[in-house]
Amino acid sequence: MMRIPMNRGTPGVVHAHCDIPCGIYDPHHAQIAALTVLRMNQLIAELPRPGPQAKPEEAQAHQHKLSRYTETKEAHAEQVKHELRVLWGDYFTPDHAKQFPELHGLFWDAMKLASKTRQEINPQAAQDLLAKVQKIAEVFWKSKGAEVRRQPSMQKSGGELVYPVAK
């Protein structure tokens, strides 16, 4: 975060990554956030519901876990959107869009899926989000001239991560 003068010297707060541009871009955080969205959907699905005879503290514990999982899911879906906006707005150029004609559709679909995963408890949407983010990561690294490989994430959610491989 940095302060820059606004309105004749009145300081204002600006949040940015990165309109300099710094040239440091990587889809890794978007992939990790998408894996987290997937994992939170899994945890919600696995969460045992208290029965009608449950003690109040059991119902409260369930509600607490459900709230925490939901908050984490939504926060990470928003993080996916933030990371993708940075890539789309600051890294990719019109030349990239010509080179990779599917690029706009990938970003559109991923942003809509990230919103859907915020709005719903939907494991399939979370899996679809991860797949779109992985495809964006593949295009990103190919735009830099790298080959890509998928490797198991080694996370409880499963899934894979896309990494660059030097030629």
Inform me whether the pLDDT recorded for 1 exceeds 50.
no
Number of residues written out for the chain: 167
Indicate the class that CATH gives domain 26-165: mainly alpha
**pTM, 2 dp:** 0.86
Inform me whether the pLDDT recorded for 8 exceeds 80.
no
Inform me whether the pLDDT recorded for 12 exceeds 90.
no
Whether omega for the bond prior to residue 21 falls within 30 degrees of 0, making it cis, is yes
How many other C-beta atoms are found inside a 10 Å radius of the C-beta of residue 113? Answer: 25
Q: What is the maximal distance between C-alpha atoms in the chain?
A: 65
Inform me whether the pLDDT recorded for 18 exceeds 60.
no
Collapsing DSSP to helix, strand or coil, 101 comes out as: coil
> What pLDDT digit, counting tens, does each position of 140-160 carry?
999 999 999 999 999 999 999
